[in-house]
């Protein structure tokens, strides 16, 4: 990633794309109050510099997938290679090297029981340089990167002008055909890919592509996530938390934690620790204050483990060089 200083227009563009990753640039320009050419230039500049991109993300729950967060301990010589191998998988996201570089955390969506068992019971245990694996099923997320306030810049009226229609509340099973899978695969690489290019990938017409994208979005299968390193926004201290919380107060604690502006992800999970979070702070001093003044006030917490992020190997969809 090239070093880029974000000004007010950049920050407005970043927030706009967090709200709606497919918003037309002319709409964003109108909301921000600059020309469409200015927004287009800024978008290309940030995209080319590797600062940000929009990723088409799949809500696996609507397709019957199960979400897991994993912790792996590796021998010192293996962690980088294992993290890179996990990042190359299409079913993983948020792959981090932690602490002294011997621990890895990541999230994964298992498409079936067989896929889950193949990863957790076969592939990872057979890698001799992985010394331990801890898998936690994600039961309910209370904070997601799509809601992280660290990206916020626009006022309430501007946000309302950009906010897309929410997905319909519907439990009707969704079935994907080969065209859908090709479409979602292309959008996972670039959520702003044009209709003509998507038509060539799927062998559909432009109108069919647009209609199917709208359907997948309305049904809650497809969403658009802005993939941007927190350091680009001035957050240079990232960490993962694993907390053991009193069960009767778990939901309240998870929701309170999610409201802290440092928290970009929080979820109730299974396992010895039942609440996990990803936090982004300005520096280590800010992280210290967050842990000792804010997290410590959550008095239903019995224990907590903290691991600083040493290297990000994959975010929402970007596989980074290691």
Higher-confidence position of 225 and 112:
225
Burial class (CB in 10 A: 0-12, 13-18, 19+), 115: middle
What are the respective helix, strand and coil percentages of the chain, to the nearest 5? 40, 25, 30
Scanning the structure block, which residue is given the tokens 């626009």? 154
Q: How far apart are CA 205 and CA 202, in angstroms?
A: 8
Listed residue (273, 278, 287, 266) closest to 242, CA to CA: 273
Higher-confidence position of 168 and 302:
302
**Is 234-310 a domain of CATH 3.30.70.920?**
yes
Q: How far apart are CA 140 and CA 300, in angstroms?
A: 18
Q: How far apart are CA 34 and CA 273, in angstroms?
A: 48
pTM: 0.91
Higher-confidence position of 169 and 20:
20
The DSSP call for residue 120 is I
Residue 126 pLDDT > 90: no
> What average pLDDT does the segment 186-205 reach?
95
Residues of the chain with CATH 3.30.70.920: 60-138, 234-310
Burial class (CB in 10 A: 0-12, 13-18, 19+), 242: buried
Which CATH class for the 60-138 domain?
alpha beta
Scanning the structure block, which residue is given the tokens 């439990």? 171
Q: Which of 74-78, 90-94, 262-266 has the highest mean pLDDT?
A: 262-266
Residue 118 pLDDT > 90: no
Question: What is the per-residue pLDDT across 12-30, written as a single tens digit (0 to 9) for each?
Answer: 999 999 999 999 999 999 9
Q: Considering only 29-33, 102-106, 117-121, which range has the smallest mean pLDDT? A: 117-121
- Phi and psi, residue 236, nearest 5°: -105, 0
| C-alpha distance across the termini of the chain, in Å | 13
Q: What is the per-residue burial (b if ≥16 Cβ within 10 Å, else e) of 10-42?
A: bbbbbbbbbbbbbbebeebbbbbebeeeebeeb
CB 305 within 8 Å of CB 242? yes
Taking each helix axis from N to C terminus, what angle separates 25-32 and 36-48, rounded to the nearest 10 degrees? Answer: 110
Q: How far apart are CA 185 and CA 183, in angstroms?
A: 5
Listed residue (114, 113, 108) closest to 92, CA to CA: 108
Q: How far apart are CA 29 and CA 158, in angstroms?
A: 11
Question: What is the per-residue pLDDT across 238-281, written as a single tens digit (0 to 9) for each?
Answer: 999 999 999 999 999 999 999 999 999 999 999 989 999 999 99
The DSSP call for residue 62 is G
Residue 58 pLDDT > 60: yes
Q: How far apart are CA 255 and CA 36, in angstroms?
A: 39
pLDDT band (50, 70, 90) for residue 298: very high
For 8-57+153-227, the fitting CATH number among 1.10.10.2890, 3.40.630.40, 3.30.70.890, 2.60.40.1180 is 1.10.10.2890
Q: How far apart are CA 229 and CA 50, in angstroms?
A: 9
Question: Helices (DSSP H) in the chain: which residue ranges?
Answer: 8-19, 25-32, 36-48, 79-87, 113-117, 156-162, 178-189, 195-202, 206-218, 250-258, 284-289
Residues of the chain with CATH 1.10.10.2890: 8-57+153-227
Residue 114 pLDDT > 80: no
């Amino acid at each position: 990633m090239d070093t880029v200083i974000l000004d007010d227009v950049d920050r407005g563009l970043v927030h706009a794309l967090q709200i709606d990753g497919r918003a037309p640039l002319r709409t964003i320009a109108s909301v921000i109050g600059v020309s469409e050419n200015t927004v287009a230039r800024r978008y290309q500049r940030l995209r080319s510099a590797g600062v940000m991109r929009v990723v088409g993300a799949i809500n696996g729950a609507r397709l019957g997938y199960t979400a897991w967060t994993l912790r792996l301990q590796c021998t010192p010589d293996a962690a980088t290679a294992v993290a890179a191998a996990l990042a190359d998988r299409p079913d993983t996201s948020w792959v981090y090297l932690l602490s002294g570089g011997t621990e890895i955390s990541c999230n994964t969506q298992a498409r079936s029981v067989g896929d889950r068992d193949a990863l957790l019971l076969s592939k990872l245990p057979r890698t001799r340089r992985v010394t331990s694996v801890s898998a936690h099923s994600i039961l309910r997320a209370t904070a997601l990167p799509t809601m992280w306030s660290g990206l916020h810049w626009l006022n309430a009226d501007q946000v309302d002008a950009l906010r897309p229609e929410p997905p319909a509340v519907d439990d009707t099973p969704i079935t994907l055909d080969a065209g859908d899978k090709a479409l979602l695969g292309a959008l996972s690489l670039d959520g702003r890919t044009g209709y003509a290019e998507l038509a060539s990938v799927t062998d559909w017409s432009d109108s069919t592509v647009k209609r199917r994208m709208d359907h997948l979005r309305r049904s809650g299968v497809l969403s658009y996530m802005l993939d941007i390193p927190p350091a680009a926004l001035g957050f240079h201290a990232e960490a993962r938390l694993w907390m053991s919380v009193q069960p009767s107060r778990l939901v309240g604690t998870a929701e309170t934690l999610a409201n802290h502006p440092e928290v970009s992800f929080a979820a109730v999970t299974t396992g010895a620790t039942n609440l996990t979070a990803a936090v982004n702070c300005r520096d280590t001093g800010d992280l210290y204050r967050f842990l000792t003044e804010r997290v410590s006030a959550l008095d239903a917490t019995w224990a907590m483990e903290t691991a600083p992020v040493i290297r990000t190997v994959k975010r929402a969809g970007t596989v980074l060089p290691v």
